[in-house]
């Protein structure tokens, strides 16, 4: 029996990954659900799924951007009156990667055999459960083109925010690397020459200067080891970074970093609102929408709150209380969800609050980019100043001894 590799999330928000046997992907997803797991990705064991880029069984890489373009173009073709089979035939000949073109061709073949588009997407193994469920709703309601358009719009906005977040983190990351490089250069090039002069004078060395000299000696003695270890650690992070548990831990850690943590939290909330709004707008009930939204977040507190909201709804209880208890979601979201649920206009409320939160996120990005640069430069200046002052104090003591 075929083996499938999966990543999923428990009701507690804990992420798990492993392998499971099953006749097909749909059956495996059902079995995982019976075990109390909410699948994020399920693929044949020979496939490998990573964040943002997906290794397909076709032997190549399918990017998230390709999936978004495919979704948008398929929506356009369906709106133009083409059949799904004809639209997939056209898209399989577009300038996608060979791996993705093969996947599209395989899906077209499955549809010609009488399979549903939802089943074809599931078998492809590169589309999220959220994507597949949205398509299922679209097929059942006869609004597949409109649903695909919503998915593409949601993915576009998500990728835009992810790009802004990456940009916001890239600038300080570059500054940090340059700062570390500058400090290392001073420690291994400048300090040793001054050290020889200080030690040769026989003058007592101040404690802070001795600390700088000791660090310099250690860097010089272990330079080769560090040069090998640094790329190895970076490679290790890249390899384990796609593991859900590790990703969740890193996100939890990053949320406690000043400025950056707020950006990550706000991004996760906006992503939750957008996906939930897309599912509700497609006609899916709120409990199922929450169930499918939960695996999309790497923030454990948000995932736990979503699970509690779903449970409360299924038990006929107030679902706003878990949202407020989490202290992750803004109070505006709680109020808008409550009003939308009471008035039966949840879609409009979600769309409105998503637009408001996206605007707040944009302003937060701008503020963070404005502040992070000067803060990092200030910290670097303090380090360099400490080194210079320490060495100068030692040089002054040498001069005092000479006179």
Same domain, yes or no: 229 and 356: yes
Give the integer Cα–Cα distance in Å for 378 and 74.
50
Residue 311 in any domain: the answer is yes
> Going residue by residue through the chain (403 aa), what tens digit of pLDDT does each one get?
666 767 666 666 565 666 777 777 777 777 887 777 776 666 665 443 333 444 444 445 677 888 888 888 888 888 888 888 888 888 888 767 888 888 888 888 888 888 888 888 888 878 887 788 788 878 877 888 888 888 888 888 878 877 777 776 787 788 888 888 888 888 888 888 888 777 776 667 778 888 888 888 888 888 888 888 888 887 877 676 555 566 667 666 777 777 777 888 888 888 888 888 888 887 778 888 888 888 777 778 888 888 888 888 888 877 788 777 877 788 888 888 888 878 888 888 888 888 888 888 888 888 877 887 788 888 888 888 888 888 788 777 766 654 4
Spatial separation of the C-alpha atoms in residues 241 and 235, rounded to whole Å: 10
Does residue 266 sit in the same domain as residue 373? yes
Do residues 34 and 151 share a domain? no
Long-range Cβ contacts of 371-375 (<8 Å, 24+ apart): 371/259, 372/168, 372/171, 372/172, 372/175, 372/259, 372/260, 373/171, 373/172, 373/175, 375/259
The domain spanning residue 32 has which CATH number? 3.10.20
Residues 252, 367 share a domain = yes
Based on the domain organization, do 403 and 294 belong to the same domain? yes
Token readout for 19 is 């392998």
Question: What CATH number does the domain containing 171 carry?
Answer: 1.20.81.30
- Residue 66 maps to a domain: no
Q: What is the pLDDT of residue 53?
A: 43
In a domain, 397, yes or no: yes
- Whether 111 is in a domain gets the answer no
| Residue 67 included in any domain | no
Residue 72 in domain: no
Q: Are residues 157 and 36 in the same domain?
A: no
Cα 303 to Cα 309: distance, rounded to the nearest angstrom: 10
Q: Do 129 and 40 contact (CB within 8 A), yes or no?
A: yes
pLDDT at res. 248:
62
Please give the residue range of the domain that contains residue 155: 144-403
**CB-CB contact of 328 with 301 (8 Å):** yes
| 255, 261 Cβ separation under 8 angstroms | yes
Q: Is residue 57 part of a domain?
A: no
236/368 same-domain check: yes
Examine residue 285 and state whether it is found in any structural domain, yes or no. Answer: yes
Indicate whether 208 and 343 sit together in one domain.
yes
How many domains is the chain partitioned into structurally? 2
Residues 23 and 165 in one domain: no
Measure the CA–CA gap between 304 and 14, rounded to whole angstroms. 8
My answer on whether 32 and 169 are in the same domain is no
């Amino acid at each position: 029996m075929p083996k499938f590799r999966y990543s999923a999330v428990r009701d507690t928000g804990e992420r798990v990954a492993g392998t499971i046997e099953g006749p097909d992907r749909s059956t495996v997803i059902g079995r995982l659900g019976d075990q109390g797991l909410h699948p994020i990705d399920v693929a044949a064991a020979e496939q490998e799924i990573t964040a943002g880029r997906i290794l397909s069984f076709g032997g190549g890489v399918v990017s998230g951007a390709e999936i978004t373009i495919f979704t948008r173009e398929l929506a356009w073709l369906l709106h133009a009156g083409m059949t799904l089979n004809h639209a997939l035939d056209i898209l399989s000949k577009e300038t996608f990667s060979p791996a993705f073109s093969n996947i599209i061709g395989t899906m077209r073949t499955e549809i010609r055999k009488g399979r549903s588009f939802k089943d074809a997407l599931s078998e492809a193994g590169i589309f999220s459960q959220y994507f597949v469920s949205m398509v299922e709703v679209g097929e059942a309601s006869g609004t597949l083109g409109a649903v695909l358009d919503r998915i593409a719009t949601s993915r576009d906005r998500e990728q835009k925010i992810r790009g802004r977040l990456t940009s916001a983190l890239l600038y300080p990351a570059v500054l940090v690397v340059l700062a570390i490089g500058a400090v290392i250069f001073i420690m291994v090039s400048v300090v040793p020459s001054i050290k020889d002069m200080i030690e040769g004078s026989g003058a007592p060395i101040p404690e802070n200067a001795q600390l700088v000299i000791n660090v310099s000696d250690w860097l010089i003695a272990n330079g080769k080891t560090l040069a090998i270890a640094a790329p190895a650690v970076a490679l290790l992070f890249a390899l384990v970074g796609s593991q859900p548990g590790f990703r969740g831990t890193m996100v939890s850690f990053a949320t406690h970093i000043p400025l950056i943590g707020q950006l990550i939290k706000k991004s996760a909330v906006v992503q939750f609102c957008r996906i939930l709004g897309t599912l509700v707008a497609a006609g899916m009930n709120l409990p199922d929408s929450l169930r499918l939204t939960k695996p999309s977040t790497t923030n454990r507190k948000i995932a736990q709150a979503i699970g509690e909201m779903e449970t409360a709804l299924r038990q006929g209880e107030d679902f706003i209380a878990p949202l407020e208890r989490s202290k992750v979601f803004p109070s505006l979201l709680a109020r808008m969800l409550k009003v939308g649920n009471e008035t039966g206009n949840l879609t409009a409320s979600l769309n409105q609050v998503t637009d408001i939160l996206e605007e707040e996120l944009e302003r937060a990005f701008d503020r963070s980019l404005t502040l992070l640069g000067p803060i990092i430069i200030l910290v670097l200046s303090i380090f360099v100043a400490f080194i210079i002052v320490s060495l100068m104090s030692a040089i002054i003591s040498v001069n005092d001894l000479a006179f």
